[in-house]
């Protein structure tokens, strides 16, 4: 151990105290040994350091920081160097605010388009997500502080996220849900990993020995720190055994005592604790070094804002350009319509909310641009309320224009941490506006702002479609620079856009509503499913238009990789993203038709030709064999495809690869859906054949008393009238707040109360409610109101006496 000399000087109580937070955002310090506390702050796309009252929901304002485009946006750049540049700027700002650990990036897979936190994640593809994340991590950690890759692992829904049990087969877990983390750990060298809230195959991720020890520590040789998601600790001792160093936020010493008692009773040995302390001390000391010498305490706000603009420009995706309506021609009269033009939708909601240093306003930017704008009308109410007067005014303005710039998308209350979206549609009042505008002026260019895929049955009513995603504080200007042609769009989709939600692979299995969620679609998420099952999509993975054109030629394949040429055959300089896909031609093991195994982005002037090289790596031909329990290579011919998207394959060749000689992992006769790729509605029996075991019962046992890991929502079945009344009050409050237009407040009830397990009451209140008091609350819930109330009061009195004596 690195810090054995310090650990030997520490008491058992001091060692245990380091294992949970001092408060909401800081670790514990031990002054006599020179161990400082360190600060952890939210920050996937900007620093969210709260100076006043702390929370994990984005309620209280944080210190000003640059709000960069979200991960879902940056992923469309397909530029790992750009990711590293963002990381460097994030790191600079983190140091200026004296942050030691920046809680990001998030790299969970976009299993389903309705996951409420998709705006914070990169992609449906683990290779793309992992490579971008590694860039972020390198950039952040170049300043000596730590990134924190999250949420490890298989956290792909927000509903019941603190207690849902993810049921997934081992091969899918490794190939889809862990590969991005593997790249982040091995290539990014992240110093910190955040464990997810959910259970994985019956065990909380934080306590899951297979995940935390066998894979993370042993296979990937990770020697950094694991921190819980806030309030995500279930059994503190089990988490410690699994190698979790830090529980956040504080529990006012309650779980420290659990660790001490476990050592004193022989449940665990002290060296288990010592190893965790050693790793945490390394994080503390190494991330404090930057603050032991002069460091930059102020940032250049303007230059950071400009970088945010450049990132947004490279991440915007042009999805439709009928009749070359874009870029706008000079002298064209434009009507600007849409509430989002007045107040931009530029970031997500929840723990990633950033208080921007500057916020570009679309109307101000239009006034400063070459666009001949004849006026603005909001056209719709932001949060979905119908308003015919606004539609009428917008139509009157549109009649006078040559082109309508229509700003639409999803609002902040629809895409939020802690909640999943209810549909893939944009709000009805926006669709009504578009219908009305189309009747008076068909020359519509829609500017779409949202963090995930949406249905577009209205797409034939727009001639141009520019998807800005959530483009950060400088997004307004970036969008207009693309609209006017000052910037040639080069973004390509990092996720597939299905025609309708019913076409998605997890449609019948999302979200898990009660005990568990079954990943019956296995490997087939995103383009892996649509390509293999032959499902038509609206826009394929990797798709994006340009104001110029590119020609691919001269593909050469060797055992080391591929080379090919790209020529800009248009009349405008631009960047092109070339994508390497690989498909195994053997049918012995089920696989997607093709999988992304490399990519590159290059800038070309008109007429210019460049040779591109994409190397093969250890992930190009591998698959995870569940019989040998390791990565293997199947001996076969592999099709090598170079494409402008997953559907637009420009060049192909084949290569024969020697295999590792592993036994076949499956009997194809029992897994017909998986061999065909048609997995939209797999039976329970076939899924069990894939898993190799029975699936757990997915519904609550309503006959049992409620316990620590049951949710507040389950109070609807409680024996105690008090609990049922409280549940009714919660439901009514949620309905009433929605009714009066307070959707964000209504969402907080669902996020912070409705889906929270009872243990969260103790874990998230900083010691105000401890576990013995929670026992009393559960007595009340389970029908013993007065007995429970007495227990709560008695335990609270005990807690206050102990606090006074210290």
Q: Which are the catalytic amino acids?
A: 229
Q: Which helix (H) or strand (E) holds 516?
A: strand 516-518
- Peptide bond between residue 327 and the one before it cis (omega within 30 degrees of 0): yes
Other CB atoms within 10 Å distance of the CB of residue 724: 15
Angle between helices 126-141 and 80-96 in degrees, nearest 10: 40
CB within 8 Å of 18: residues ≥ 6 apart: 27, 28, 30, 35, 246, 277, 280, 281
CB within 8 Å of 801: residues ≥ 6 apart: none
Residue 192 near residue 148 (C-beta atoms within 8 A):
yes
Q: 3-state DSSP: the chain helix, strand, coil percent, rounded to 5?
A: 35, 20, 45
Distance CA 452, CA 123 (A): 10
Residue 7 near residue 284 (C-beta atoms within 8 A):
no
Is the four-CA dihedral 40, 417, 91, 61 of positive or negative sign?
Answer: negative
Residue 471 near residue 73 (C-beta atoms within 8 A):
yes
Task: Classify strands 595-604 and 574-584 as parallel, antiparallel or unpaired.
Answer: antiparallel
Residue 292 near residue 284 (C-beta atoms within 8 A):
no
Residue 83 near residue 68 (C-beta atoms within 8 A):
no
Contacts within 8 Å (CB) and 24+ apart, 613-622: 613/561, 613/562, 613/563, 614/561, 614/562, 614/578, 614/580, 615/560, 615/561, 616/559, 616/560, 616/561, 616/562, 619/127, 619/179, 620/582, 621/582, 621/584, 621/657
Distance CA 602, CA 612 (A): 8
Residue 124 near residue 496 (C-beta atoms within 8 A):
yes
Other CB atoms within 10 Å distance of the CB of residue 742: 15
- In sequence order, what are the beta bridge partners of 566? 552, 610
If you count them, how many residues does the chain have?
806
Distance CA 104, CA 191 (A): 11
Which residue from 615, 658, 613, 664 is spatially nearest to 637, judged by alpha carbons? 658
Tokens of 737: 């707040």
Distance CA 771, CA 610 (A): 64
CA angle 489, 495, 500 (to 5 degrees): 110
CA separation, residue 433 to residues 390, 405, 447 (Å): 9, 13, 14
Tokens of 406: 């229509």
- Complete edge-to-edge strand list for the sheet that includes strand 199-200: 203-204, 199-200, 165-167, 516-518
Q: Got the DSSP string for 567-600?
A: EE-SSS-EEEEEEEEEEE---SS---S-EEEEEE
Beta strands in 663-780 (DSSP E): none
Residue 711 near residue 726 (C-beta atoms within 8 A):
no
Distance CA 381, CA 413 (A): 13
Tokens of 143: 């300043």
Q: Which helix (H) or strand (E) holds 308?
A: helix 301-315
- In sequence order, what are the beta bridge partners of 148? 192
Classify 260 in phi/psi space as left (phi over 0), alpha (psi -120 to 50) or beta: alpha
């Amino acid at each position: 151990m690195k810090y054995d000399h310090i650990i030997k000087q520490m008491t058992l109580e001091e060692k245990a105290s380091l294992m949970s937070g001092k408060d909401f955002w800081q670790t514990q310090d031990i002054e006599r040994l020179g161990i400082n506390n360190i600060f952890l702050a939210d920050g996937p796309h900007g620093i969210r350091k709260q100076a006043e009252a702390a929370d994990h929901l984005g309620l209280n304002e944080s210190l000003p920081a640059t709000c960069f485009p979200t991960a879902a946006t940056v992923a469309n750049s397909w530029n790992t160097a750009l990711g590293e540049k963002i990381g460097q700027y994030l790191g600079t700002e983190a140091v200026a605010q004296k942050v030691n650990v920046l809680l990001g990036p998030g790299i969970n897979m976009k299993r389903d388009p309705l996951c409420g936190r998709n705006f914070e994640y990169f992609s449906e593809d683990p290779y793309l997500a992992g490579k971008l994340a590694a860039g972020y991590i390198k950039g952040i950690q170049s300043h000596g502080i730590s990134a924190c890759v999250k949420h490890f692992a298989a956290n792909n829904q927000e509903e019941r996220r603190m207690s849902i049990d993810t049921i997934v087969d081992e091969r899918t877990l490794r190939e889809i849900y862990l590969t991005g983390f593997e790249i982040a750990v091995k290539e990014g060298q992240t110093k910190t990993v955040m464990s997810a809230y959910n259970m994985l195959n019956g065990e909380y991720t934080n306590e899951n020995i297979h995940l935390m020890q066998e894979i993370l520590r042993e296979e990937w040789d990770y020697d950094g720190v694991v921190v819980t998601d806030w309030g995500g600790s279930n059994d503190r001792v089990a988490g410690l055994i699994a190698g979790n160093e830090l529980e956040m936020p504080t529990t006012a010493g309650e779980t420290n005592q659990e660790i001490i008692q476990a050592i004193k009773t022989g449940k665990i040995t002290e060296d288990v604790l010592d190893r965790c302390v050693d790793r945490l001390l390394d994080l503390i000391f190494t991330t404090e070094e930057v603050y032991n010498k002069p460091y930059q305490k102020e940032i250049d706000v303007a230059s950071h804002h400009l970088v945010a603009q450049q990132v947004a420009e490279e991440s915007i995706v042009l999805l439709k350009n009928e009749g070359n309506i874009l870029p706008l021609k000079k002298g064209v009269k434009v009507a600007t319509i849409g509430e989002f033009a007045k107040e931009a939708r530029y970031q997500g909601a929840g723990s990633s909310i950033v208080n921007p240093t500057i916020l570009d306003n679309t109307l101000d930017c239009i006034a400063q641009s070459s666009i001949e704008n004849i006026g603005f009308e909001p056209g719709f109410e932001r949060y979905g309320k119908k308003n015919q007067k606004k539609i009428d005014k917008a139509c009157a303005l549109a009649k006078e224009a040559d082109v309508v710039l229509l700003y639409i998308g999803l609002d902040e209350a629809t895409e939020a941490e802690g909640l999943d979206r209810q549909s893939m549609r944009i709000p009805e009042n926006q669709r009504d506006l578009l219908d009305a505008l189309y009747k008076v002026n068909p020359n519509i260019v829609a500017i779409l702002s949202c963090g995930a895929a949406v249905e577009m049955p209205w797409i034939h009513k727009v001639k141009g479609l520019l998807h800005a995603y959530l483009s950060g504080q400088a997004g307004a200007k970036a969008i207009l620079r693309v609209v006017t042609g000052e910037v040639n769009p080069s973004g390509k989709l990092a996720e597939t856009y299905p025609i309708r939600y019913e076409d998605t692979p997890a449609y019948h299995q999302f979200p898990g509503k009660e005990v568990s969620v079954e990943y019956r679609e296995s490997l087939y998420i995103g383009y892996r499913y649509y390509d293999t099952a032959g499902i038509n999509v609206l826009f394929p993975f990797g798709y994006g238009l340009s104001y110029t054109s590119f020609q691919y030629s001269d593909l050469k394949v060797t055992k080391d990789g591929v080379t090919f040429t790209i020529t800009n055959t248009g009349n405008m300089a631009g960047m092109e993203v070339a994508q390497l896909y690989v498909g195994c031609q053997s049918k012995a093991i089920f696989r997607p038709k093709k999988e992304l195994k490399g990519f590159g982005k290059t800038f070309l002037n008109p007429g210019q030709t460049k040779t591109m090289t994409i190397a093969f790596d250890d992930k190009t031909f591998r698959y995870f064999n569940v019989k040998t329990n390791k990565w293997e290579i199947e001996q076969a011919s592999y099709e090598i495809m170079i494409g402008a998207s997953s559907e637009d394959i420009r060049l192909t060749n084949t290569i024969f690869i020697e295999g590792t000689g592993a036994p076949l992992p499956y009997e194809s006769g029992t897994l017909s859906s998986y061999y065909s790729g048609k997995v939209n509605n797999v039976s329970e029996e076939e899924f069990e054949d894939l898993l190799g075991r029975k699936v757990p019962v997915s519904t609550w046992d309503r006959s049992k008393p409620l316990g620590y890991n049951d949710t507040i929502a389950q109070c609807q079945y409680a024996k105690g009238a008090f609990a049922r009344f409280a549940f009714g009050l919660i439901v009514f409050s949620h309905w009433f707040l929605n009714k009066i237009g307070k959707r964000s407040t209504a969402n907080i009830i669902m996020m912070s109360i409705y889906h929270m397990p009872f243990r969260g009451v103790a874990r998230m209140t900083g010691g105000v409610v401890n576990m013995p008091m929670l026992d009393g609350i559960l007595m009340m819930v389970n029908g013993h109101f007065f007995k429970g109330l007495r227990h709560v009061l008695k335990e609270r009195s005990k807690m206050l006496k102990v606090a006074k004596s210290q």
